[in-house]
Protein backbone atom coordinates (compact mmCIF):
# COMPACT_ATOMS: atom_id res chain seq x y z
CA UNK A 1 0.00 0.00 0.00
CA UNK A 2 1.69 3.20 -1.16
CA UNK A 3 1.81 6.51 0.66
CA UNK A 4 2.77 9.98 -0.42
CA UNK A 5 5.97 11.07 1.28
CA UNK A 6 4.77 14.51 2.29
CA UNK A 7 6.81 16.36 4.92
CA UNK A 8 5.79 15.42 8.45
CA UNK A 9 5.87 18.94 9.83
CA UNK A 10 3.80 17.89 12.82
CA UNK A 11 6.65 15.77 14.13
CA UNK A 12 9.19 18.48 14.83
CA UNK A 13 11.40 17.58 17.77
CA UNK A 14 13.60 19.42 20.15
CA UNK A 15 16.05 17.92 22.58
CA UNK A 16 14.92 17.81 26.19
CA UNK A 17 16.50 16.60 29.42
CA UNK A 18 17.36 12.96 29.94
CA UNK A 19 18.59 12.39 26.42
CA UNK A 20 15.08 11.89 25.01
CA UNK A 21 13.57 13.60 22.00
CA UNK A 22 10.34 15.34 22.93
CA UNK A 23 7.96 15.91 20.03
CA UNK A 24 5.94 19.09 20.05
CA UNK A 25 3.14 18.92 17.52
CA UNK A 26 1.64 21.89 15.79
CA UNK A 27 -1.85 21.98 17.22
CA UNK A 28 -4.53 23.76 15.24
CA UNK A 29 -6.33 26.55 17.13
CA UNK A 30 -9.98 25.90 17.90
CA UNK A 31 -12.24 27.80 15.53
CA UNK A 32 -14.32 30.15 17.70
CA UNK A 33 -16.96 30.28 14.95
CA UNK A 34 -17.99 26.67 15.54
CA UNK A 35 -21.54 26.26 16.77
CA UNK A 36 -21.87 22.48 17.00
CA UNK A 37 -22.63 21.63 20.63
CA UNK A 38 -21.41 18.07 20.01
CA UNK A 39 -17.90 19.46 20.40
CA UNK A 40 -18.67 20.64 23.92
CA UNK A 41 -20.31 17.33 24.77
CA UNK A 42 -17.10 15.61 23.66
CA UNK A 43 -15.04 17.91 25.86
CA UNK A 44 -16.98 17.05 28.97
CA UNK A 45 -17.59 13.41 28.07
CA UNK A 46 -14.01 12.41 27.28
CA UNK A 47 -11.49 15.20 27.68
CA UNK A 48 -12.41 16.22 31.21
CA UNK A 49 -12.43 12.68 32.62
CA UNK A 50 -8.98 12.11 31.14
CA UNK A 51 -7.75 15.26 32.82
CA UNK A 52 -9.23 14.09 36.09
CA UNK A 53 -7.24 10.86 35.93
CA UNK A 54 -4.03 11.08 37.92
CA UNK A 55 -0.88 9.36 36.73
CA UNK A 56 -1.26 6.67 39.37
CA UNK A 57 -0.47 2.93 39.45
CA UNK A 58 -4.04 2.00 40.33
CA UNK A 59 -6.89 1.57 37.88
CA UNK A 60 -9.51 4.31 37.94
CA UNK A 61 -12.72 4.85 36.03
CA UNK A 62 -14.22 7.84 34.29
CA UNK A 63 -17.19 7.61 36.65
CA UNK A 64 -14.87 7.91 39.65
CA UNK A 65 -12.33 10.62 38.77
CA UNK A 66 -9.59 11.10 41.32
CA UNK A 67 -10.60 14.69 41.97
CA UNK A 68 -12.35 15.84 45.13
CA UNK A 69 -12.24 19.61 45.00
CA UNK A 70 -15.53 19.90 46.88
CA UNK A 71 -13.93 18.19 49.91
CA UNK A 72 -11.42 21.05 50.18
CA UNK A 73 -13.16 24.45 50.24
CA UNK A 74 -9.89 26.33 49.70
CA UNK A 75 -9.03 24.23 46.66
CA UNK A 76 -12.56 24.63 45.31
CA UNK A 77 -12.24 28.40 45.74
CA UNK A 78 -8.92 28.40 43.85
CA UNK A 79 -10.42 26.42 40.98
CA UNK A 80 -13.34 28.85 40.77
CA UNK A 81 -10.91 31.78 40.81
CA UNK A 82 -8.97 30.11 38.00
CA UNK A 83 -12.13 29.69 35.92
CA UNK A 84 -13.02 33.36 36.35
CA UNK A 85 -9.56 34.25 35.08
CA UNK A 86 -9.99 31.89 32.12
CA UNK A 87 -13.24 33.65 31.25
CA UNK A 88 -11.57 37.07 31.37
CA UNK A 89 -10.81 38.59 27.97
CA UNK A 90 -7.22 39.18 29.10
CA UNK A 91 -5.50 35.81 29.33
CA UNK A 92 -2.53 37.10 31.34
CA UNK A 93 -4.37 36.52 34.61
CA UNK A 94 -5.01 32.81 34.06
CA UNK A 95 -1.43 32.30 32.94
CA UNK A 96 -0.04 34.07 36.01
CA UNK A 97 -2.33 32.01 38.25
CA UNK A 98 -1.31 28.69 36.67
CA UNK A 99 2.39 29.42 36.93
CA UNK A 100 2.08 30.62 40.53
CA UNK A 101 0.50 27.30 41.43
CA UNK A 102 3.15 25.40 39.49
CA UNK A 103 6.00 27.34 41.13
CA UNK A 104 5.94 24.99 44.13
CA UNK A 105 7.17 22.18 41.90
CA UNK A 106 3.90 20.69 40.67
CA UNK A 107 4.42 18.86 37.39
CA UNK A 108 1.98 19.21 34.47
CA UNK A 109 0.19 15.98 35.36
CA UNK A 110 -0.48 17.21 38.87
CA UNK A 111 -1.60 20.59 37.57
CA UNK A 112 -3.94 18.86 35.14
CA UNK A 113 -5.43 16.84 37.98
CA UNK A 114 -5.64 19.63 40.56
CA UNK A 115 -6.57 22.66 38.44
CA UNK A 116 -6.98 22.18 34.70
CA UNK A 117 -9.33 19.20 34.94
CA UNK A 118 -11.53 20.63 37.70
CA UNK A 119 -11.63 23.96 35.89
CA UNK A 120 -12.83 22.25 32.72
CA UNK A 121 -15.51 20.44 34.72
CA UNK A 122 -16.66 23.69 36.29
CA UNK A 123 -16.80 25.27 32.84
CA UNK A 124 -19.05 22.40 31.82
CA UNK A 125 -21.36 23.18 34.74
CA UNK A 126 -21.37 26.86 33.81
CA UNK A 127 -22.23 26.01 30.22
CA UNK A 128 -25.10 23.72 31.23
CA UNK A 129 -26.43 26.47 33.55
CA UNK A 130 -26.10 29.11 30.79
CA UNK A 131 -23.56 31.05 32.84
CA UNK A 132 -21.28 31.05 29.81
CA UNK A 133 -21.82 30.26 26.15
CA UNK A 134 -20.23 27.86 23.70
CA UNK A 135 -17.69 30.35 22.37
CA UNK A 136 -16.51 31.18 25.89
CA UNK A 137 -16.11 27.48 26.70
CA UNK A 138 -14.17 26.94 23.48
CA UNK A 139 -11.83 29.86 24.18
CA UNK A 140 -11.28 28.69 27.77
CA UNK A 141 -10.49 25.12 26.70
CA UNK A 142 -8.02 26.47 24.15
CA UNK A 143 -6.36 28.48 26.91
CA UNK A 144 -6.22 25.43 29.19
CA UNK A 145 -4.55 23.37 26.50
CA UNK A 146 -2.04 26.12 25.78
CA UNK A 147 -1.28 26.41 29.50
CA UNK A 148 -0.75 22.68 29.78
CA UNK A 149 1.84 22.64 26.99
CA UNK A 150 3.62 25.65 28.49
CA UNK A 151 3.80 23.78 31.79
CA UNK A 152 5.20 20.76 29.97
CA UNK A 153 7.80 23.00 28.37
CA UNK A 154 8.77 24.33 31.81
CA UNK A 155 8.83 20.87 33.40
CA UNK A 156 9.85 18.33 30.73
CA UNK A 157 10.05 14.60 31.42
CA UNK A 158 13.25 13.60 33.18
CA UNK A 159 13.03 9.88 32.40
CA UNK A 160 15.29 8.29 29.82
CA UNK A 161 13.42 6.89 26.85
CA UNK A 162 13.29 3.12 27.37
CA UNK A 163 14.04 0.68 24.59
CA UNK A 164 10.97 -1.24 23.50
CA UNK A 165 8.52 1.38 24.80
CA UNK A 166 7.00 3.07 21.76
CA UNK A 167 3.42 4.17 21.21
CA UNK A 168 1.44 6.06 18.59
CA UNK A 169 -1.63 7.96 19.81
CA UNK A 170 -4.54 9.38 17.86
CA UNK A 171 -8.23 10.13 18.20
CA UNK A 172 -10.39 8.01 15.96
CA UNK A 173 -10.57 9.90 12.65
CA UNK A 174 -13.40 12.40 13.03
CA UNK A 175 -13.17 12.76 16.81
CA UNK A 176 -12.30 16.38 17.46
CA UNK A 177 -10.84 16.19 20.96
CA UNK A 178 -7.14 16.61 21.67
CA UNK A 179 -6.63 17.91 25.20
CA UNK A 180 -7.09 14.57 26.93
CA UNK A 181 -4.71 13.01 24.45
CA UNK A 182 -2.17 15.73 25.27
CA UNK A 183 -2.29 14.78 28.94
CA UNK A 184 -1.97 11.11 28.04
CA UNK A 185 1.02 11.76 25.78
CA UNK A 186 2.81 13.61 28.56
CA UNK A 187 2.02 10.91 31.14
CA UNK A 188 3.56 8.24 28.90
CA UNK A 189 6.67 10.30 28.22
CA UNK A 190 7.17 10.77 31.95
CA UNK A 191 7.31 6.99 32.23
CA UNK A 192 10.03 6.78 29.57
CA UNK A 193 7.85 6.03 26.56
CA UNK A 194 8.63 7.25 23.05
CA UNK A 195 5.37 8.85 21.89
CA UNK A 196 4.20 10.03 18.48
CA UNK A 197 0.74 11.44 17.88
CA UNK A 198 -1.78 12.45 15.25
CA UNK A 199 -4.83 14.68 15.43
CA UNK A 200 -8.36 13.83 14.32
CA UNK A 201 -7.75 15.04 10.75
CA UNK A 202 -4.51 13.14 10.14
CA UNK A 203 -5.83 9.69 9.19
CA UNK A 204 -3.33 9.35 6.33
CA UNK A 205 -0.46 10.28 8.63
CA UNK A 206 -1.65 7.72 11.17
CA UNK A 207 -1.27 4.90 8.66
CA UNK A 208 2.00 6.31 7.34
CA UNK A 209 3.55 6.43 10.80
CA UNK A 210 2.29 2.93 11.60
CA UNK A 211 3.89 1.63 8.43
CA UNK A 212 7.23 3.35 9.04
CA UNK A 213 7.76 2.55 12.72
CA UNK A 214 7.73 -0.54 14.91
CA UNK A 215 5.41 0.78 17.56
CA UNK A 216 4.63 -1.60 20.37
CA UNK A 217 1.20 -0.05 20.83
CA UNK A 218 -1.13 2.11 18.77
CA UNK A 219 -3.74 3.86 20.93
CA UNK A 220 -7.01 5.26 19.60
CA UNK A 221 -9.43 7.34 21.66
CA UNK A 222 -13.19 7.49 21.16
CA UNK A 223 -16.11 9.04 23.01
CA UNK A 224 -19.18 8.57 20.81
CA UNK A 225 -20.90 5.38 19.72
CA UNK A 226 -21.31 6.84 16.24
CA UNK A 227 -17.55 6.52 15.74
CA UNK A 228 -17.46 2.77 16.48
CA UNK A 229 -17.62 1.72 12.79
CA UNK A 230 -14.74 4.10 12.01
CA UNK A 231 -12.77 2.71 14.95
CA UNK A 232 -13.29 -0.85 13.72
CA UNK A 233 -12.21 -0.10 10.15
CA UNK A 234 -9.25 1.97 11.36
CA UNK A 235 -8.05 -0.94 13.49
CA UNK A 236 -8.28 -3.27 10.49
CA UNK A 237 -6.24 -0.83 8.40
CA UNK A 238 -3.63 -0.42 11.14
CA UNK A 239 -3.17 -4.17 11.55
CA UNK A 240 -2.66 -4.49 7.80
CA UNK A 241 -0.36 -1.49 7.49
CA UNK A 242 1.70 -1.65 10.69
CA UNK A 243 5.40 -2.34 10.32
CA UNK A 244 5.22 -4.31 13.56
CA UNK A 245 3.06 -7.30 12.75
CA UNK A 246 2.56 -7.95 16.44
CA UNK A 247 1.48 -4.44 17.38
CA UNK A 248 -1.15 -4.17 20.10
CA UNK A 249 -4.08 -1.88 19.35
CA UNK A 250 -5.43 -0.04 22.38
CA UNK A 251 -8.80 1.70 22.44
CA UNK A 252 -9.78 4.11 25.17
CA UNK A 253 -12.45 6.59 26.12
CA UNK A 254 -15.62 7.11 28.07
CA UNK A 255 -17.60 5.01 25.61
CA UNK A 256 -16.11 1.81 27.02
CA UNK A 257 -17.10 2.76 30.56
CA UNK A 258 -20.69 3.38 29.52
CA UNK A 259 -20.78 0.46 27.07
CA UNK A 260 -18.21 -2.25 27.92
CA UNK A 261 -19.53 -4.46 25.09
CA UNK A 262 -18.41 -1.85 22.58
CA UNK A 263 -14.85 -3.17 22.96
CA UNK A 264 -15.83 -6.40 21.22
CA UNK A 265 -17.26 -4.46 18.28
CA UNK A 266 -14.02 -2.55 17.93
CA UNK A 267 -11.89 -5.72 18.10
CA UNK A 268 -9.09 -3.91 19.93
CA UNK A 269 -6.46 -5.88 21.84
CA UNK A 270 -6.58 -3.58 24.87
CA UNK A 271 -9.26 -1.29 26.27
CA UNK A 272 -8.29 1.48 28.70
CA UNK A 273 -10.70 3.57 30.73
CA UNK A 274 -8.26 6.32 31.75
CA UNK A 275 -4.62 7.41 31.63
CA UNK A 276 -3.47 5.35 34.61
CA UNK A 277 -5.12 2.22 33.27
CA UNK A 278 -3.61 2.81 29.82
CA UNK A 279 -0.14 2.97 31.38
CA UNK A 280 -0.74 -0.27 33.29
CA UNK A 281 -1.85 -2.08 30.14
CA UNK A 282 1.03 -0.70 28.08
CA UNK A 283 3.62 -1.69 30.66
CA UNK A 284 2.14 -5.20 30.79
CA UNK A 285 2.51 -5.51 27.00
CA UNK A 286 6.16 -4.46 27.12
CA UNK A 287 6.89 -6.78 30.05
CA UNK A 288 5.31 -9.73 28.25
CA UNK A 289 7.40 -9.06 25.14
CA UNK A 290 10.61 -8.29 26.98
CA UNK A 291 10.98 -4.90 25.29
CA UNK A 292 12.08 -6.58 22.09
CA UNK A 293 11.92 -3.63 19.68
CA UNK A 294 12.06 0.14 19.58
CA UNK A 295 10.75 2.96 17.45
CA UNK A 296 12.92 3.59 14.41
CA UNK A 297 11.97 7.14 13.51
CA UNK A 298 9.05 9.51 13.66
CA UNK A 299 8.87 10.31 9.99
CA UNK A 300 10.06 7.24 8.19
Separation of alpha carbons 266 and 264, rounded Å: 5
Handedness of CA 211, 225, 171, 46 (dihedral sign): negative
Residue 220: per-residue pLDDT: 93
Is residue 177 within 8 Å of 223, Cβ to Cβ? yes
Q: What is the mean pLDDT of residues 169-196?
A: 87
What whole-number distance in Å separates Cα of residue 163 and Cα of residue 209? 18
Whether residue 294 is predicted with pLDDT greater than 70 in this model: the reply is no
Which has the higher per-residue pLDDT, 236 or 65? 236
**pLDDT for residue 224 is more than 50:** yes
Tell me which residue of 193, 245, 240, 249 sits closest to 217, measured CA to CA. 249
Q: Beta 21-23 vs 13-15: how paired, if at all?
A: antiparallel
pLDDT of residue 256: 80
pTM: 0.68
Range with the poorest average pLDDT among 18-22, 171-175, 213-217, 232-236: 18-22
The pLDDT of residue 177 is 63
60, pLDDT greater than 50: no
Domains and CATH numbers, the chain: 37-154 (no CATH), 160-289 (3.40.50.280)
For residue 197, the SS3 value is: strand
Higher pLDDT, 244 or 104: 244
What per-residue confidence (pLDDT) applies to 40?
43
Task: Tell me the per-residue pLDDT of 78-131, one tens digit each, with 9 for 90 and over.
Answer: 999 999 999 998 888 888 888 888 776 668 888 888 899 889 889 988 998 989
Amino acid sequence: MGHSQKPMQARNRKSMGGGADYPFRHRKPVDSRLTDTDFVETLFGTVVPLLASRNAPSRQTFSDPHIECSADPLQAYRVEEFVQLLLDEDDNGCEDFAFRQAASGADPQRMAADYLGPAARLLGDYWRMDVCDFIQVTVCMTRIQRLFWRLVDECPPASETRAGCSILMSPVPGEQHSFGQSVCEDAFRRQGWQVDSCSFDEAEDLLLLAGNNEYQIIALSISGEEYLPILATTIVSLRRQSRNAGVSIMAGGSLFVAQPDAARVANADLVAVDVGHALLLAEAVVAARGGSSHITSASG
